[in-house]
Amino acid sequence: MADIEVHPVFQAACKAPFGWVAVATRGGAVCEVDIFQQQKPKTVAVDDPLAEEVCVALQRWFAGGGWPHDIPVAPAGTMFQKRVWHALQQIPAGETLTYGEVARKLGSGPRAVGGACRRNPVPLLVPCHRVVAANGDGGFAGHTDGRRMEIKRWLLSHE
């Protein structure tokens, strides 16, 4: 039997310079952030103000304010993925590391780091866009060209 991928319900969505950002929370932390390029995603009203707070913080950042620190995140993933995502959170805004540099810090390989970046369920908050290839931009959300790469370049330029 095939695995069924379950997506959370988004509690909030906000306009971004590159489309829309949707936020899902669970247990007092952000569990998923997704980027929608065409239209505003559907959201549901729940009694959890965190998703709205995240949207406000992201919009402030998009408008030139500081990076939204101290937002609790709880992405689902393997222990290795969580180690990579924690390492990404240590990269300061405006700086980048290569997949190889992150891999060396973790005693791993660049491809494994790239795989963890590709599966990051909370992009922007766990800034996988700050990881680049040794010879170029690398990828973003599993894409090496097209609109997703335009978003990565915008994010890097914005910082």
Is 128 catalytic? The answer is yes
Distance CA 107, CA 100 (A): 10
Distance CA 91, CA 155 (A): 14
Distance CA 82, CA 60 (A): 27
> Mapping DSSP to helix (H, G, I), strand (E, B) and coil, where does residue 89 land?
helix
- Please give the full DSSP string across 95-143, using - where no structure is assigned: --EEHHHHHHHHTS-HHHHHHHHHT-SSTTTS-GGGEEBTTB---BTTB
The residue from 14, 55, 117, 128 that is catalytic is 128
Q: Could you give the residue numbers annotated as active site?
A: 128
